[in-house]
Structure 1
Amino acid sequence: MSTYNIVLSTNESTVVTEYEPQTKRSDAYQSEAALEAAFIKMLGEQGYEYVTIHSPDALIANLRRQLELLNNYQFTDKEWDSFFKSKIANANEGIVEKTRKIQEDYVQNLTRENGTTMNISLIDKKNIHNNRLQVINQYEESAGKHDTRYDVTILVNGLPLVHVELKRRGVAIKEAFNQINRYQRDSFWAGCGLYEYVQIFVISNGTFTKYYSNTTRASHIKENDGTGRKHSKKTSNSFEFTSYWADGNNKVIADLVDFTKTFFAKHTILNILTKYCVFTSEELLLVMRPYQIVATERILNRIEVSTNYKKTGTIEAGGYIWHTTGSGKTLTSFKTAQLATGLPYIEKVLFVVDRKDLDYQTIKEYDRFEKGAANGNKSTAVLQRQLEDSTSRIIVTTIQKLDVFITKNKSHPIYSKHVVLVFDECHRSQFGQMHTNIIKHFKNYHIFGFTGTPIFAINAGTGGNPELRTTEQAFGAKLHTYTIVDAINDGNVLPFRIDYINTIKQKDNKKDKQVSAIDTEEALASQERISEVVKYILEHFDQKTMRNSYYSLKGQRVNGFNSMFAVSSIPVCKKYYLELKKQIAEQHRELTIATIFSFAANEADTADGILDDESFDTDGLDQTSRDFLDMAIKDYNKIFKTNFDTSSKGFQDYYKDLSDKVKKREVDLLIVVNMFLTGFDATTLNT
């Protein structure tokens, strides 16, 4: 494979590629005051302006000056008073509304004294270095439930968008986290309420430093404080969603000195605030993790460089991202697609999955990040209309639909358009003839793959087809890696342990392997064994799902995790389902179980790695299996007050609803038949 070197890249990387820790460490500062002074000094050395602001009046006056500089306009006193009270510090707006103003509605209308209107930007997202960064400390707020004094705040154009709480060395950083929670509850809303604009919190004890967004797993309840002003009464941030910063090699940058030189580099913090936060349709602010940002920027960089070098339509214009399952690949792919469509020369981004159920799940996730951002399609005809519609910028489709479209349209204008193809979970299913058809017909493309399980040369030829390629051969060079080891070390996924429990004892003197296999299969499906396995599952369920390990602040046991139980066949599934129902009832347990399976349409030859679209047509089931599925769905309907059935449409709706309830942990134990696992994967579970 030919290679090329980047001669020049004008974009500054948000995440430093490789970072060498500084010789001067934060442990040189023993007290909180000394740590704070050193932190502010470092920010000053990095171009931040230090200003002395300790009161709401001074904060408001500074905000006016900064917005005038950003917008090259001087407010009259009347204009400023009206604009501030209605657009910036509206008494009926809280964290959610103010977050939306920073992330989405950052250009507000000003009604001038002469009756005309003009746009006032709160932040410049196109030219990030037009924004002015200031740092203040020991800001005092006396209008809340308690007199408070905040440590260090970063002002962007006068608005407090990043807040830092410091603790002296040796104190757990969770104390800083708890203190910010108290501020959100007791005082950020008070006075002029400008601290509700904070987008990102940073907590540190010098040795360990983490960051998180303002609405991470938060619920905002509006309450009148007695003055007629509504504010956020309660937030429920969870410490488990705080993140470490890291370099491009996933090396954690925890020390405050190193964190400041990287995370608080001006282009980095401004990029994070303007590009790498996502305000979801659920009104939560997600701030991306360093490995997600690196992957996004390396894809965008590859698009830009390969376009400049006229490499589009070749493997050198693409690459693959190796990020482990559960690390947030969907958010990364969404942000990549969103930013790629912002490039003036990119006409469409096609997000390609290999099953229709994953198509549905991806659309749902994309809708969560931005309602209507992606266009899904139910048929090849709809896909064709979207490909021909200039307003459909991000299209989610299955590889099967795309292949049918190509087969029916050997020549089409889309093939010459400048497009980005992003493949979700680029495993063997995208290495077959369909993949070949796509890259054969599209002429001006970039192709990228996301995977948690890349195929390397050592195992490329396994699976019955020696022609199978590696991930690199199919998609191009590896652009970034974030493995399960990285994720466990960062605390982004749960550590895991595999327990092997042998429930079959081989008889002595058994030499015939075929006989042994027959005996084993019969023994595995015996009612006696199934009864014992179910007994073991129920005895250890709370332990394995950590339901005895995690408690809320009020001392109540939380729900823990849910689980998936894979079995070999529909008859075995029925036996386990009925036995679980029986023993759960006998023990008076409050466990919700469900099952999912369909006609095994994908049991055809898959040597080329291609899986047929999941069939939601249950007519292929034998009567016994259909009756069992009917019974299981009726049980589900009774529990959740739904009305699904085993018709093709009813089963498809059941599948979607079950997928959603499993993800929300409303189903404790899901029993799946082995053949169904390819579509209903473990990433749906909170395990």
Structure 2
Amino acid sequence: MSEYSEDNLVEQPAIGLFSELGWETVNGFHEFDSSGKSILGRDAKTEVVLKSRLRPALERLNPGLPQEAFDQAMEELTQDRSAMAPVQANREIYELIKEGIRVKIPAPDGQGETVETVRLMDWNTPGNNDFLLVNQFWITGEMYTRRADLVGFVNGIPLLFVELKATHARLEDAYNKNLRDYKDTIPQLFWYNAFIILSNGSRSRIGGMSASWEHFAEWKKINSEGEEGVVSLETMIRGTCDPARLLDLMENFTLFMEVQGGLIKLLARNHQYLGVNNAIEALKDIKHRAGKLGVFWHT
């Protein structure tokens, strides 16, 4: 019970911070308890995309398209990808989310068809998207059921995974004992993942779904490279989970690369994210900078 209380000391403040940033928050521990019907609209715990959130978002972001377009897009997004390597499934879904899903719409007269693109995100206006954080979210894989601490859904798609440990626990355990198990037992959740946060409250690290522990990085600064760095869960959440920043990180700071051993997913580090965006802001004001944009070191 004491450890559970310690976890609460980390989890509850995190939930409150997400709420402050504009996320709707729901406790999923008793999701199926009331008359067996899910409060999140799921038919079963094996489902990781919240279709009850996804369809309204598609309709809102794609006015004028017929319902058939949304049916096709949802079917494409949620199809079984268990035969693929997890990181390959993640790249395939990433491209669908980033570029939209192309669907074929039969002509009203039955002669031919048109090709339309169904947008899944509004990258330019974060407020047009639906941000939902679910704590204690149950997921069932082929053999086992697991309960995730925090899962962040954008338009019903589980883009964010947060594993929390008690304040006295080693942060490495969140990776070695928890995340590895989740990726083995409930891999379908990570097909959609944008990034993963591991934290014990005082220490926090962020990484992509294919990253080894050594490539999970701290996030010490929120707005400026010049600010004093602070390693904390609050800095991590404010710096990466603010709706605009989360979408920016996913759209503009995510790469997939073939290396020796296979495909990997790369996520920008704190200084890279701030440096690139600061350079772009300087470019917008280049007339008043005598052509000087500044320099930042980057590996």
TM-score, normalised via structure 2 length: 0.77
How many Å separate the matches in 2 of 1:166 and 1:132? 24
What one-letter code is carried by the residue in structure 2 that aligns with 1:167? K
1:147 alignment counterpart: 145
Equivalent of residue 89 in structure 1, options 68, 79, 100: 79
1:180 alignment counterpart: 179
1:158 alignment counterpart: 156
Matches within 5 A, 1:593-672: none
Contact 1:109/1:117 (8 A) holds in 2: yes
The change in CA–CA distance for 1:253 and 1:106 in structure 2 (over 3 A counts) is farther
Matches within 5 A, 1:304-323: 304-307=284-287, 309=288, 316-323=290-297
What one-letter code is carried by the residue in structure 2 that aligns with 1:99? R
State yes or no: 1:43 paired with 2:33: no
TM-score, normalised via structure 1 length: 0.36
State yes or no: 1:239 paired with 2:213: yes
Contact 2:220/2:232 (8 A) holds in 1: no
**What's the CA shift for 1:72?**
3.2
**Deviations 1:34-70 (CA, angstroms, capped at 9, x unpaired):** 4222211221121112245374288233222332233
How many Å separate the matches in 2 of 1:163 and 1:285? 15
How many Å separate the matches in 2 of 1:126 and 1:100? 22
How many Å separate the matches in 2 of 1:67 and 1:162? 20
**Deviations 1:456-493 (CA, angstroms, capped at 9, x unpaired):** xxxxxxxxxxxxxxxxxxxxxxxxxxxxxxxxxxxxxx
The change in CA–CA distance for 1:162 and 1:74 in structure 2 (over 3 A counts) is same
The change in CA–CA distance for 1:243 and 1:58 in structure 2 (over 3 A counts) is closer
2:52 alignment counterpart: 61
Matches within 5 A, 1:88-237: 88-91=78-81, 92-93=83-84, 94-103=86-95, 106-112=99-105, 115-178=113-176, 179-189=178-188, 194-216=189-211
**What's the CA shift for 1:246?**
1.8
What one-letter code is carried by the residue in structure 1 that aligns with 2:185? D
Give aligned pairs, total: 265
What one-letter code is carried by the residue in structure 1 that aligns with 2:104? T
State yes or no: 1:264 paired with 2:262: no
**What's the CA shift for 1:196?**
1.2
Contact 2:122/2:129 (8 A) holds in 1: yes
How many Å separate the matches in 1 of 2:158 and 2:10? 21
Matches within 5 A, 1:343-358: none
Contact 2:48/2:139 (8 A) holds in 1: no
How many Å separate the matches in 2 of 1:118 and 1:58? 22
What one-letter code is carried by the residue in structure 1 that aligns with 2:238? K
**What's the CA shift for 1:250?**
6.7
The change in CA–CA distance for 1:160 and 1:276 in structure 2 (over 3 A counts) is same
How many Å separate the matches in 2 of 1:141 and 1:211? 22
How many Å separate the matches in 2 of 1:245 and 1:57? 27
What one-letter code is carried by the residue in structure 1 that aligns with 2:184? R
**What's the CA shift for 1:107?**
1.3
How many Å separate the matches in 1 of 2:186 and 2:11? 21
In structure 2, the gaps of 5 or more residues are: 29-39, 108-112
**Deviations 1:281-325 (CA, angstroms, capped at 9, x unpaired):** 554221111111222122222221014x4x6xxxx31244252xx
What one-letter code is carried by the residue in structure 2 that aligns with 1:95? V
The change in CA–CA distance for 1:150 and 1:113 in structure 2 (over 3 A counts) is farther
Contact 1:151/1:165 (8 A) holds in 2: yes
The farther-off stretch of 121-130 and 243-252 is: 121-130
**Deviations 1:127-152 (CA, angstroms, capped at 9, x unpaired):** 44433321112221223331111110
Contact 1:109/1:118 (8 A) holds in 2: yes
**What's the CA shift for 1:243?**
0.5
1:611 alignment counterpart: none
The change in CA–CA distance for 1:112 and 1:90 in structure 2 (over 3 A counts) is farther
What one-letter code is carried by the residue in structure 2 that aligns with 1:61? S
How many Å separate the matches in 2 of 1:43 and 1:113? 42
Work out which of the two has the higher radius of gyration on C-alpha atoms and give 1 or 2: 1
1:587 alignment counterpart: none
**Deviations 1:238-282 (CA, angstroms, capped at 9, x unpaired):** 211110002223744322233323332222222111212222355
The change in CA–CA distance for 1:108 and 1:66 in structure 2 (over 3 A counts) is same
1:295 alignment counterpart: 275
How many Å separate the matches in 1 of 2:216 and 2:25? 27
How many Å separate the matches in 2 of 1:211 and 1:75? 39
**Deviations 1:407-439 (CA, angstroms, capped at 9, x unpaired):** xxxxxxxxxxxxxxxxxxxxxxxxxxxxxxxxx
How many Å separate the matches in 2 of 1:277 and 1:86? 22
SS where residue 285 of structure 1 aligns?
Answer: strand
In structure 1, the gaps of 5 or more residues are: 1-28, 217-237, 329-687
The farther-off stretch of 169-178 and 61-70 is: 61-70
Contact 1:79/1:113 (8 A) holds in 2: no
SS where residue 187 of structure 2 aligns?
Answer: coil
What one-letter code is carried by the residue in structure 2 that aligns with 1:241? H
Contact 1:99/1:199 (8 A) holds in 2: no
SS where residue 122 of structure 2 aligns?
Answer: coil
SS where residue 211 of structure 1 aligns?
Answer: strand
What one-letter code is carried by the residue in structure 2 that aligns with 1:149? R
The change in CA–CA distance for 1:126 and 1:57 in structure 2 (over 3 A counts) is closer
What one-letter code is carried by the residue in structure 1 that aligns with 2:87? I
How many Å separate the matches in 1 of 2:245 and 2:55? 25
**Deviations 1:364-396 (CA, angstroms, capped at 9, x unpaired):** xxxxxxxxxxxxxxxxxxxxxxxxxxxxxxxxx
The change in CA–CA distance for 1:270 and 1:58 in structure 2 (over 3 A counts) is closer
1:624 alignment counterpart: none
How many Å separate the matches in 1 of 2:48 and 2:126? 27
Contact 2:89/2:191 (8 A) holds in 1: no
How many Å separate the matches in 2 of 1:37 and 1:187? 24
The change in CA–CA distance for 1:321 and 1:128 in structure 2 (over 3 A counts) is same
SS where residue 317 of structure 1 aligns?
Answer: coil
Percent of matched pairs sharing the same residue: 19
Higher relative contact order (CA 8 A, sep 6+): 2
What one-letter code is carried by the residue in structure 1 that aligns with 2:266? L
How many Å separate the matches in 2 of 1:47 and 1:161? 16
